[in-house]
């Protein structure tokens, strides 16, 4: 009789215990372990580079390129985009409201993005929030890769400089989005069978034709960027599409689920660093 009641008790408690353990899964601990390993890869590869300096991309690891870049920074090519972005940001919508009605702190909120929206069960990026602000105020959405959205995003990044990256992964939904982004980052794709990690981890610091490949650590914190190749300012996801095309993969939808999750993962990996966008790059 005693044995039966014990086994019954066990059967009763098992699902409760399982449910409890699922609910209290420490996603932050799982993610922090990943961050630690990701960061260790780069700090061991480039021991002379300070953590925050990785925000400068390839210019943190290539002295010659850094000198040229610093010279360019005297009159940074993104400054016009920042000015135009400010004007666009301060312009009133047709209903009389402005972006400040959507974004607090006068728009200095770059550090709040991307984040996982629990209600919508999806990652929200800054560019997406800009377009959602427009839609909420009866304005047509802007094209995502470049142009006005990149300018507004540049201005918001500029006035958010120095703010820490603190992306939270605190729910199962957020962790799943994070894992999808992580999978995208490490999975090889395209005709060249290459991954983000293949180039920007394994081959970071090595040459690809005449260019040195940048380390992945800190990639999202300096975007949007004015690329000399583009001759204009562009968003991080525009760069994702270009990278995918370069390796012979069909670029995915800008601000689609895959790229948003990738941006989420990459930004989580930059936690503890500081936003320093916009930036100029070759």
Angle ∠(59,146,199) on CA atoms, nearest 5: 40
- Nearest 10 degrees: CA dihedral of 245, 249, 254, 257? -160
Q: Classify residue 69 as left (phi > 0), alpha (psi -120 to 50) or beta.
A: alpha
Nearer to other proteins, 44 or 63 (CB): 44
Q: What is the smallest separation between the CB atom of 43 and other proteins, expressed in angstroms? A: 8
Is 196 a catalytic site residue? no
Q: For residues 114 and 125, what is the distance between their CA atoms, to the nearest angstrom?
A: 4
Q: How far is CA 257 from CA 100, 151, 239, 260, in A?
A: 27, 23, 16, 5
Instruction: Please name which of 48, 74, 80, 90 lies closest in space to residue 205, comparing C-alpha atoms.
Output: 48
Interface residues with other proteins (CB under 8 A) are: 37, 40-41, 44-45, 183-184, 186-191, 193, 195, 197-198, 201-202, 244-245, 248-252, 258
Instruction: Please name which of 169, 163, 157 lies closest in space to residue 116, comparing C-alpha atoms.
Output: 169
Tokens 């400010």 belong to which residue? 86
State both tokens at 194. 């290459």
Q: What is the smallest separation between the CB atom of 104 and other proteins, expressed in angstroms? A: 35
Nearer to other proteins, 8 or 202 (CB): 202
Q: What is the smallest separation between the CB atom of 93 and other proteins, expressed in angstroms? A: 36
109: three-class secondary structure by DSSP: coil
Nearer to other proteins, 198 or 220 (CB): 198
Q: What is the smallest separation between the CB atom of 268 and other proteins, expressed in angstroms? A: 15
Give me the active site residues, please: 243
């Amino acid at each position: 009789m005693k044995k039966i009641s014990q086994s019954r008790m066990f059967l009763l408690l098992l699902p409760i215990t399982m449910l409890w353990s699922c609910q209290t899964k420490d996603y932050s601990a799982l993610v922090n372990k990943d961050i630690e390993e990701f960061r260790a890869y780069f700090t061991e590869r480039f021991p002379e580079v300070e953590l925050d300096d990785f925000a400068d991309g390839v210019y943190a690891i290539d002295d010659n390129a850094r000198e040229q870049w610093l010279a360019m920074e005297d009159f940074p090519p993104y400054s016009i985009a920042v000015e135009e972005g400010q004007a666009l940001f301060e312009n009133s919508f047709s209903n009389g409201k402005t972006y400040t009605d959507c974004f607090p702190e006068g728009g200095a909120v770059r550090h709040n993005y991307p984040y996982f929206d629990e209600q919508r069960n999806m990652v929200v990026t800054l560019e997406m929030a800009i377009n959602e602000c427009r839609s909420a105020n009866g304005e047509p959405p802007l094209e995502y890769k470049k142009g006005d959205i990149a300018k507004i995003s540049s201005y918001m990044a500029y006035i958010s400089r120095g703010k820490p990256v603190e992306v939270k992964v605190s729910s199962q939904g957020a962790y799943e989005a994070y894992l999808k982004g992580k999978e995208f980052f490490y999975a090889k794709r395209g005709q060249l069978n290459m991954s983000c990690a293949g180039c920007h981890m394994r081959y970071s610091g090595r040459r690809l034709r005449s260019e040195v490949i940048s380390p992945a650590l800190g990639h999202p914190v300096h975007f949007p960027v004015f690329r000399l190749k583009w001759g204009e300012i562009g968003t991080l996801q525009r760069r994702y599409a270009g990278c995918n095309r370069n390796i012979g993969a069909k670029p995915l939808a800008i601000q689609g689920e895959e790229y948003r999750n990738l941006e989420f993962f990459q930004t989580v990996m930059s936690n503890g660093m500081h936003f320093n966008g916009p930036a100029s790059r070759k």
